[in-house]
């Protein structure tokens, strides 16, 4: 089978890593070719690739490329390797409007007889209005998703089981030596500190760690949109002499940081695949923190025990000013809906807000940084406030402690190795490619139903949807 891949670029990042893994897993069973838009081409890439100008991210110099011309460029590139063409074109993240011609390009390629397999890693509907296509998504194509949550979303939005395929990523074990120095009294949060990683919650957790134990955050954010929030958190912690170390990944190799840490933590409010829930176990380390239930459902089904993770931190609304929170939350939802051209269900929003007021609490992960700082400040300065938070969230009495932790680590390490190996991944890919080649489908995505799922007050997080200047 001849498989061509298409993506905007091959720069370092999650999707590029996935493409490399896919090529490695099938190159002994198939011929492969990767088509990419923006340079550079990474060293050591596991297969042949061709740069196709015009399919990268939008830029002024690309404005003169037309979809028909781009389609011919793609076909010509494929025919330089296979004069008779490929069996299947595997396109990554086609629903993100990083290139304004991409959907028109795919329609033309489909009309010319190319068999398309469209794999979604990230939804524009999930807090990315700047990457949202206003037009409809390609019809009557096979689609791939990376977890059961996304499968359920797209099935509810109109896709059929026949043309919708799950392909979980493979997990490469962290390269940590079995021998070395003893762990330090440190909890590692191994992320680049973008707002969606919810570092304010990790900072809150640091107040409940055992005496002498530090939280360590590995890397600063790259994007200007995240840098102000990050700088303010650093200043906040410094001014209050908190046990938080920033940018430790700039000074020590990552494997050594993992090896030296007592455990790893995650407080992220959103994930695509969810590598953070799997990788720690491969290094023989305990992972604890926030569980994203819909993302983790596949992992649990595959035998990975995540029952010790929490689903939220209930926080008294009175600590952050109930009316201030309500008005800011409603305004943020209205603004998000407007950016998507979506009519908000105001009844559902009002019902959610009334339920929160009645309960008197809100999940810390739904709060804006300004709210989170107010709550942390109260915990720092009022011992009764810390006790109140423990009463609402009893596991805060001993965060990161798990009975029989070595048994848990051993179980989860084995489960990850079994379910997310490169061999299993290659088998899944080949099975999907065969089904895509042999089954025609008639279906389309209802974009309104996708927006219904993401613009839901119960899962709406201000860190994801709201600008830093609330």
pLDDT of 150 above 70 = yes
Residue 397, CA atoms < 13 Å, CB-side half-sphere: 5
The C-alpha angle 168, 169, 173, rounded to 5 degrees, equals 135
- Residues 245/215, Cβ–Cβ less than 8 Å: yes
Domains present along the chain, CATH in parentheses = 2-119+138-170+421-444 (3.40.50.2000), 184-313+393-419 (3.40.50.2000)
pLDDT of 380 above 90 = yes
Residue 193 exposed, middle or buried by CB count within 10 Å (0-12, 13-18, 19+)? buried
- Residue 199 has phi, psi (to 5 degrees) of -70, -20
pLDDT of 144 above 90 = yes
Residue 160 CB partners (closer than 8 Å, separation 6+): 441, 443
Q: How far apart are CA 178 and CA 209, in angstroms?
A: 26
Tell me: the pLDDT tens digits for 171-214?
A: 999 887 655 566 789 999 999 999 999 999 999 999 999 999 99
Token representation of residue 46 = 């596991």
pLDDT for 135: 96
- Residues 144/165, Cβ–Cβ less than 8 Å: yes
State the pLDDT confidence band at 59, using cuts at 50, 70 and 90: low
pLDDT for 179: 58
Average pLDDT, stretch 213-233?
95
Tell me: the pLDDT tens digits for 39-54?
A: 999 899 999 999 999 9
Residue 192 exposed, middle or buried by CB count within 10 Å (0-12, 13-18, 19+)? middle
Residues, the chain = 470
pLDDT for 177: 67
The C-alpha angle 23, 24, 25, rounded to 5 degrees, equals 95
- pTM of the predicted structure, to 2 decimals: 0.92
Question: Which residue(s) pair with 34 in the sheet?
Answer: 5, 49
**Which residue, among 141, 33, 108, has the nearest Cα to 436 in the 3D structure?**
141
Token representation of residue 337 = 């809906």
pLDDT for 403: 93
State the pLDDT confidence band at 61, using cuts at 50, 70 and 90: very low
**Which residue, among 442, 447, 443, has the nearest Cα to 135 in the 3D structure?**
447
pLDDT for 467: 87
Q: How far apart are CA 123 and CA 133, in angstroms?
A: 11
The span from the first CA to the last CA of the chain, in angstroms, equals 52
Token representation of residue 351 = 């019902």
Average pLDDT, stretch 79-103?
97
Instruction: Encode the chain in three state secondary structure.
Output: CEEEEEEEECCCCHHHHHHHHHHHHHCCCCEEEEEEEECCCCCCCCCCEEECCCCCCCCHHHCCCCHHHHHHHHHHHHHHHCCCCCCEEEEECCCECCCCCHHHHHHHHHHCCCCEEEECCCCCCCCCHHHECCCCCCCCCEEEECCHHHHHHHHHCCCCHHHEEECCCCCCCCCCCCCCCCCEEEEEEEEECCHHHCHHHHHHHHCCCCCCCEEEEEECCCCHHHHHHHHHHHHHHHHCCCCEEECHHHCCCHHHHHHHEEEEEECCCCCCCCHHHCHHHHCCCEEEEECCHHHHHHHHHCCCCCCCCECCCEEEHHHCCHHHHHHHHHHHHHHHHHHHCCCCCHHHHHHHHHHHHHHCEEEHHHCCHHHHHHHHHHHHHCHHHHHHHHHHCHHHHCCCCCCCHHHHHHHHHHHHHHHCCHHHHHHHHHHHHHHHHHCCCCCCCCHHHHHHHHCCHHHCCHHHHCCCCC
Average pLDDT, stretch 275-303?
97
Residue the block writes with tokens 């081409």: 41
């Amino acid at each position: 089978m001849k498989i061509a891949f298409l993506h905007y670029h091959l720069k370092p990042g999650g999707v590029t890593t996935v493409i490399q893994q896919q090529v490695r897993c099938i190159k002994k069973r198939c011929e492969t070719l990767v088509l990419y838009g923006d340079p550079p081409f990474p060293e050591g890439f596991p297969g042949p690739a061709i740069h196709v100008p015009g399919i990268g991210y939008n830029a002024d110099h690309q404005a003169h490329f037309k979809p028909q011309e781009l389609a011919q460029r793609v076909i010509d590139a494929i025919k330089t390797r296979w004069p008779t063409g490929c069996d299947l074109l595997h396109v990554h993240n086609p629903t993100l409007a990083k290139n304004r011609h991409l959907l028109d390009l795919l329609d033309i390629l489909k009309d010319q007889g190319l068999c398309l397999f469209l794999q979604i890693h990230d939804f524009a509907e999930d807090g990315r209005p700047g990457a949202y296509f206003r037009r409809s998504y390609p019809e009557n194509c096979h689609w791939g998703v990376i977890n059961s949550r996304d499968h359920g979303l797209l099935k509810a939005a109109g896709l059929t089981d026949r043309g919708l395929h799950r392909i979980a990523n493979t997990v490469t074990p962290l390269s940590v030596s079995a021998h070395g120095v003893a762990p330090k009294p440190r909890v590692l949060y191994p992320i680049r500190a973008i707002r969606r990683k919810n570092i304010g919650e990790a900072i809150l957790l640091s107040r409940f760690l055992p005496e002498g134990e530090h939280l360590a955050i590995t890397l600063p954010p790259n994007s200007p949109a995240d840098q102000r929030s990050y700088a303010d958190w650093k200043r906040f912690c410094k001014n209050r002499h908190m046990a938080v170390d920033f940018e430790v990944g700039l000074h020590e190799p990552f494997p050594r940081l993992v090896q030296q840490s007592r455990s790893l933590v995650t407080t992220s409010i959103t994930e695509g695949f969810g590598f953070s829930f799997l990788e720690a176990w491969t290094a023989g380390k305990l992972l604890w923190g926030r569980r994203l239930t819909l993302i983790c459902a596949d992992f649990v089904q595959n035998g990975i025990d995540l029952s010790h993770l929490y689903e939220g931190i209930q926080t008294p609304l009175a600590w952050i000013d109930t009316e201030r929170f309500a008005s800011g939350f409603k305004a943020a939802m209205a603004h998000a809906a407007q950016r998507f051209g979506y009519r908000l269900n105001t009844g559902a929003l009002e019902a959610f807000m009334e339920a929160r007021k009645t309960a008197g609490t809100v999940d810390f992960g739904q709060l804006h940084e300004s709210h989170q700082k107010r709550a942390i400040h109260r915990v720092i300065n009022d011992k009764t406030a810390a006790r109140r938070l423990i009463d609402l969230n009893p596991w805060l009495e001993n965060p990161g402690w798990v009975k029989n932790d070595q048994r848990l680590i051993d179980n989860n390490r084995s489960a990850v190795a079994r379910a997310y190996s490169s061999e299993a991944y290659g088998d899944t890919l080949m099975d999907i490619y065969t089904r895509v080649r042999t089954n025609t489908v008639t279906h389309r995505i209802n974009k309104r139903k996708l927006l219904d799922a993401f613009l839901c007050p119960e899962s709406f997080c201000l860190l994801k949807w709201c600008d830093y200047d609330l």
